Amino acid sequence: MAHFNWEFNDILEELKISLESLSTAPQVETGRPVTLAPDEREAVRSTVTRLEKRTDLLREGVVRLSRMSKYLEKELQNTRTSVDAHKGILAPSRQLFPELLARIFVLATVPEFSIFKAPSAITSASGDSLRQTTPVVASVCRYWREIALKTPELWATILIGPRFNKSLITLFIQRSAAHPLNLVVSFERYENQSMQMLLATQPRRWQRINFYLPSKYYEELSRSASLITNVVSCRLDSARDHSSNPSVPSTFLNQSASLQNVVMGESIPDVFARFSLPFASIRVWKSINYDTLPSTLFSEMPILRTLYLQLKTNNFAPLQNTPVQHHLTTLWLERVDGNINLDLLPVLPSLERCWIFMPTQRDVDPTTVIPFFARSGKTIKVLALSMHIPPSAPHLLQQCLSLTPNVSTLHLNRFTQDPFLKVLTVTGQPTDVLPTLDHLRISGKILSNKPAVNDLLASRSSKLSAVKPTIGGVAVKRLRRFDLLPDRMEEEAKFYFDDLKKDWNRKGVKVEVQSHNWQKFVDWNYVFEHLPAA
């Protein structure tokens, strides 16, 4: 830098001396005729010569200064880059191990794959459509790019929409190395051979798939069964092409002996007629059933652990071949237009999470509900109920809950009247229920200023009791959290709910009050992803 200063100063000094030696001549008026003596004419010629030399010197100075300006601009840019680089050394992200930074890249940029989401809900990093995009982190700096290129998981989720970039997909597959691949495909129209060609590029690497395809695709994919033998999770849905039911079920997943998690979209009503699957390996099943369920449902899925069914027809078929017991751990049942005949289910001695949703105004049939809880209720830890029991018959709710003594998380929808709240209140009587309850959620039409709510909370707060109550010889667990989810929050009710929340939070019970989101309550995707641990 000292050399640079000397050179720059030298240029300026040299230019200054040269210009001083060529001082400008006096200004003369050039527009009028002038009569000059010979010596005056010689003096003008001498002045012209000096001015021309001065012009040449100035032109040379401009060129040299222009070069120097470019040099200075380049040095300025390099210095700024160096400053940023040195600041980057001090950045917290530079203190992270490469493995941790790679994990952050995956969580931040890879589209969240879930078989419980439709392909349209699994978007690219840009969030605007189902299309493949290169992770932004690969273009930030050389260090980040090196990590991105050495992280196969960052490139292992393939998104294919109607207009997909084949070369970009090829790039992703190459950079994914040997990592198992996730495939999300959404086609409204049939495009012959495109799916088979894609599957053939990486046989047996496809591990999780999420398809929204015309029915004809599923028929033709049967020829590609040998290319997808390692699928573990799948979601299958069909574009509404109104095609007739296939005469032969699609067998494209028949060779996937590792298949464990299956979700059938709502556009595939006749699941068991359209697909032949390796049922014996399935552990999670979710479907909307318009037809009667097959009588061999439980016997064909002996290791099934999670079952989600939305029933559109007249319940289960008589399950003649159902085993006496089945080790299901999570059960989610919904019937919009009627009750569910729970009496047709096998004994479930390992059931830990149970969600039963029957929003019809028709009264629940106690002859099916009570026996179900009597057979399978003892091990339930998380229970959600939405059914119609008239306020005049709270004993039905009391009977159900008395058969589930190990429930720790309870969500009751539409059980907001005083008789039902009193069922949950500990009174020291033999009819008390749920000694291990520590998280209670109540949703529906909740009126303000209800003494029954305060009585319920007080009875389950050990801090307010001199003697710790017991139920069936088991000490009542102190309520840890209470959620009130009213359908509507009237202005006058808000003050009551706010006071209730502040009062009980001071007493050690966490009370939350928020408007009940009915869509989330009935949306099994949301319920599954937010289901409390058993």
Residue with tokens 């998280």: 439
Q: What is the pLDDT of residue 200?
A: 74
- Reduce the DSSP state of residue 510 to 3 states and report it: strand
Please state the φ and ψ torsions of residue 495, each to the nearest 5 degrees: -65, -40
For the stretch 504-533, pLDDT in tens is 888 888 888 776 665 555 555 555 555 544
In a domain, 107, yes or no: yes
Q: Take residue 160 and report the two structure tokens written for it.
A: 């294919």
- Reduce the DSSP state of residue 140 to 3 states and report it: coil
Summary mean pLDDT of the chain: 78
Give the integer Cα–Cα distance in Å for 339 and 311: 10
Q: Look at the chain and report how many structural domains it folds into.
A: 1
Give the integer Cα–Cα distance in Å for 410 and 453: 15
- The total of other beta-carbon atoms located within 10 Å of residue 450's CB is 17
In a domain, 478, yes or no: no
- The total of other beta-carbon atoms located within 10 Å of residue 226's CB is 12
43 contact partners, CB below 8 Å, separation of at least 6: none
CB 356 within 8 A of CB 338: no
For the stretch 419-461, pLDDT in tens is 888 999 998 888 999 999 999 988 877 765 578 888 888 888 8
Structural domain that includes position 239:
96-280
Tell which residue, 381, 319, 320, 322, has the closest CA to residue 350.
381
Give the integer Cα–Cα distance in Å for 61 and 211: 71
Tell which residue, 48, 54, 52, 60, has the closest CA to residue 20.
54
In a domain, 195, yes or no: yes
Give the integer Cα–Cα distance in Å for 339 and 372: 13
The distance of Cα 467 from the centroid of its chain, to the nearest Å, equals: 46
- More confident site: 474 or 293: 474
In a domain, 337, yes or no: no
CB 260 within 8 A of CB 284: yes
| Cα separation values, 118 from 209, 251, 353, 379, 393, Å | 11, 22, 24, 33, 41
The distance of Cα 234 from the centroid of its chain, to the nearest Å, equals: 17
CB 368 within 8 A of CB 339: yes
DSSP string, 268-280: ---HHHHB---GG
Give the integer Cα–Cα distance in Å for 280 and 257: 9
Count H helices and E strands in the chain, helices first.
16, 16
Q: Take residue 342 and report the two structure tokens written for it.
A: 């729970």
In a domain, 138, yes or no: yes
Q: What is the pLDDT of residue 447?
A: 63
CB 378 within 8 A of CB 401: no
Least reliable range by pLDDT among 7-16, 108-117, 262-271, 386-395: 7-16
- The total of other beta-carbon atoms located within 10 Å of residue 444's CB is 18
In a domain, 124, yes or no: yes
Residue with tokens 């680089």: 85
Q: Are strands 233-238 and 474-475 parallel, antiparallel or unpaired?
A: unpaired
pTM for the predicted model, two decimal places: 0.74
In a domain, 45, yes or no: no
In a domain, 307, yes or no: no
- The total of other beta-carbon atoms located within 10 Å of residue 382's CB is 19
Give the integer Cα–Cα distance in Å for 120 and 525: 14
Longest dimension (CA), the chain: 138
Q: What's the pLDDT band for 260 if we cut at 50, 70, 90? A: very high
For the stretch 298-355, pLDDT in tens is 888 889 999 988 877 655 555 544 567 788 999 988 876 677 778 778 889 999 999 8
CB 115 within 8 A of CB 235: yes
- Where would I find the beta strands (DSSP E) of 460-509? 470-471, 474-475, 481-486
Q: What's the pLDDT band for 534 if we cut at 50, 70, 90? A: very low
Q: What is the pLDDT of residue 320?
A: 46
Q: What's the pLDDT band for 247 if we cut at 50, 70, 90? A: low
| Cα separation values, 436 from 180, 350, 424, 467, 472, Å | 42, 18, 12, 17, 11
- The total of other beta-carbon atoms located within 10 Å of residue 289's CB is 20
